[in-house]
Amino acid sequence: MEKEEMEWKRKTMGFSPEKENRDSNWFKTKKKALNHVLSTIRIHSKQTHPLKETQPTPTTLHSPPPQQQPPPPQTPKTTQDSTLTNPASDRTSLLSDEILLRILSKLPKSQRPANFLVSKRWLNLQGRLVRSVKLFDWEFLVSGRVFFRFPNLVHVDLVEGCSILPRDSGVFCTRSRKTVSFHAVSNLEGGKDSIFTEKSVLNADEVDKGLRVLANKCPNLTKLAVANCSEMGLLSVAEECPTLQELELLMCNDRVLRGIAACLNLQILRLNGAEDGLHESLVSDVGLTILAQGCKRLVKLELSGCKGGYEGIKAIGQCCLMLEELTLCNHRMEDGWLSALSYFENLKTLIFVSCKRIDGGDEFDEGFGSCPSVERLHLEKCQLRDKTSLRALFLVCCNVRELVIQNCWGLNDDMFGTSSALRKVRFLGLEGCSMLTTLGLESVIIYWNDLESLKVYSCNKIKDGEVNPALSSVFSALKDLKWKPDRKSAVSNYLEGIGMGKRGSKFFKKSHDWKSLPGS
């Protein structure tokens, strides 16, 4: 029966045993190639249609169905650099981001900038460690790229980014104390009053737009510096950034101060109103009163170019009970404001910087009030030509223990004599007081029985040879004495013994004739 079936196949289909053996041998030799083709088609179909279930691939005759390989064991995902990293050459690729961040945070700040150049991964990780940034390009803020680059910012300085002055002049100017620096140009119209005006900075709407973006991306912001903003921009920052503690405002006015009142946790505030030769902004008693009623947790307050008076300073003293430091820079206060300092109960430090006058009042007496809590009084680059106002200042701050006078004009023996009203001074610092003499210094400090430290620098009229026994006895009782009053004497004492100042005198003698010198 089997032979008849084979004979029938040979006649009808041309089938022969030799041909059957040859076909089976072909399948055996090409089996691996077929399996490879099938697996390639299966992988390609999964990549093209990832969401569709893969259908079983039909198999041909004599080819066994492909066996599914077990899935590889899953390893925990770790963030790697987008570039291909060779573990043999970069061993840090084996570390997780958290461990590498802890390592980079331990490096000193001087070495951190070089970390940005190692790789893209280090670039991103080092950006996460940056907490403070000073912005120069306003578009970098509005586009949001600064937050993608530095996602954990807590301190942002936008002052120079608000300026639209060209930066190709090569002249770089700074103005006032901790205020603004800019590139000066020579083709501005309007003279010096147009250097830093409303035309040279972004308008308030553009600044407010940037502040809204900043408030949305940096809810943990603690320190901010900005120029020419409005109350709406500050309100957005106050609502989104409840942790804001330090704020610096340039080109500020009374209307802007309404937005500051919403910053309930503000502790340090610097206001810049009018600035000679740069810009004119009005901060009056109205703005100072709004400020006092809103920011009751202030610890440090700096008023630069503000035009207030007795009522505004009084409101700050009555409302800001935690205020410990008050700084007045180039103030334009009305006459009689000094007596309002008696309302400050916890004020510890009072600083005057670049003030043309202390107070313009004509009549002061010992009964107009005092601020007994003030312990430190600093006068820097001030014009001390009004003896009445300077004496009134010393009467208000009668319990001062630290008195520092640096580079003040007009401080002669008569003006310095008004400080005799201070009886509890423990530290006296004098620097750059060119009109004060040794006799004027002696006439005051010999009555300060609590004096412990004395520093005298660059006071050219105070001479070492004029120190008498009474002044020497005061020096001997001090715990700390830094005495370098005359720059010339200090330099001559330093050069003495090294022969530097005598070489010229040895060579050019009167007995030598210049015609006899070589080459003449």
Average pLDDT over residues 304-328: 94
Q: What is the pLDDT of residues 71-95, one digit of tens each?
A: 555 544 444 444 444 544 666 777 7
Domains of the chain (ranges plus CATH)?
Answer: 97-129 (no CATH), 132-166+200-361+369-497 (3.80.10.10)
Average pLDDT over residues 375-397: 93
Three-class SS state of 343: helix
Query: Per the structure block, which two tokens stand in for 46?
Result: 């999964």
* Secondary structure letter of residue 275 according to DSSP: B
pLDDT at position 148 is 87
Residue 38 to residue 61: CA distance in whole angstroms: 14
The neighbouring-strand residues paired with 403 are: 377, 428
Q: Report the alpha-carbon angle 453-454-458, nearest 5.
A: 155
Residue 160 to residue 375: CA distance in whole angstroms: 36
pLDDT at position 193 is 37
315 pLDDT band, cuts 50/70/90, is very high
Please report, rounded to a whole number, the percentage of residues in the chain having pLDDT higher than 70: 66
Least confident of 37-46, 236-245, 464-473: 37-46
pLDDT at position 168 is 52
pLDDT at position 149 is 86
Please report, rounded to a whole number, the percentage of residues in the chain having pLDDT higher than 90: 45
* Secondary structure letter of residue 474 according to DSSP: H
Are 464 and 485 contacting, i.e. CB atoms less than 8 angstroms apart?
yes
pLDDT at position 509 is 46
**What's the burial of 331, exposed, middle or buried (CB within 10 Å: 0-12/13-18/19+)?**
buried
This prediction has a pTM of 0.71
Average pLDDT over residues 151-171: 78
Q: Kindly give the pairing relationship between strand 402-406 and strand 349-353.
A: unpaired
Q: What is the pLDDT of residues 274-300, one digit of tens each?
A: 776 666 778 999 999 999 999 999 999
